[in-house]
Amino acid sequence: MKNGYSFSQRLVHWLTLLVIIVVYLAIENRGLFERGSDERALVMLTHFYAGFTILILAIIRLVLRMTNSVAPIDPLPPVWLQRSAMLGHVLLYAFLLAMPIIGLVMLNAKGGSLDLFGVSLPSLWPKDPEMAEQLEELHESIGKFGYVLIGLHAVVALVHHHVLKDNTLTRMTRGR
C-alpha cells in the first residue's frame, strides 16, 4: 500500500482542474461575442470539447482509482470527516460524469452534434426542443452547484493541510 496518489492519478486530478477552468471560462464569457459570430461558435466549441475531455478524464480516473490503492491519511481524521470526504468525492465523480453526458444529450436534443476527428459522435437523443430546454435547466443548475462543490473541496483540502496538518494535500501534490 502506498501513502500517496500515483503519478497518473495526480496528473489526471490536476489536468481535470485545468480543463474545468477552460469549460467554465468559455461558457461564462460566451456573452462577450454576438450570437451567430465565428467567435461565439469558437467559444461554444471550446466548451463542448473541453467538457467532453472531462468525461474522458473522469473515466480514466475511475479506472485508476479501482486499480491503485492509497493508504489512509496520516494522522487519520475523525470518522465523520472521512465519511464526509467519501460523500464529497462521490458527488465530484457524479458531477464529472453527469455534466458532459447531460451536455451531449442536450446538444443532440437541440439538433446539434459533436464531431471527433471529422467523424460525428453518434446521436444520443433525437431532436427534441422541449427536452433540450429541460436539460439546459438541469445542466445550468448542476453547473452552478459545481462551483460550490469544487470550492468547498479546495477549501477542505487547505484546512487539512494548514489546520489539521495531515498529509491529505501532499498525497495529491507530491504523491508517494
Q: What residues make contact with ligand HEM under the rule CB under 6 A?
A: 13, 16-17, 20, 23, 27, 30, 47-48, 51-52, 54, 65, 85, 89, 92-93, 96, 99-100, 103-104, 106-107, 114, 136, 139-140, 143, 146, 150, 153-154, 157, 168-169, 171-172
Q: How far is the CB of 91 from ligand HEM (least distance, A)?
A: 9
Task: Single out the residue of 89, 99, 88, 78 nearest to residue 24, CA to CA.
Answer: 99
**Which lies closer to ligand HEM via its Cβ, residue 114 or residue 131?**
114
**Which lies closer to ligand HEM via its Cβ, residue 39 or residue 140?**
140
Q: How far is the CB of 39 from ligand HEM (least distance, A)?
A: 14
Residue whose grid cell is 464526509: 84
Strands (E), 7-153: 115-116, 119-120
Residue 1 is which amino acid?
M
Q: How far is the CB of 47 from ligand HEM (least distance, A)?
A: 6
Residue whose grid cell is 475523525: 78
**Which lies closer to ligand HEM via its Cβ, residue 128 or residue 136?**
136
Q: How far is the CB of 163 from ligand HEM (least distance, A)?
A: 14
Residue 164 is which amino acid?
L
SS3 of residue 116 by DSSP: strand
Task: Single out the residue of 69, 91, 83 nearest to residue 1, CA to CA.
Answer: 69
Size of the chain in residues: 176
**Which lies closer to ligand HEM via its Cβ, residue 157 or residue 164?**
157
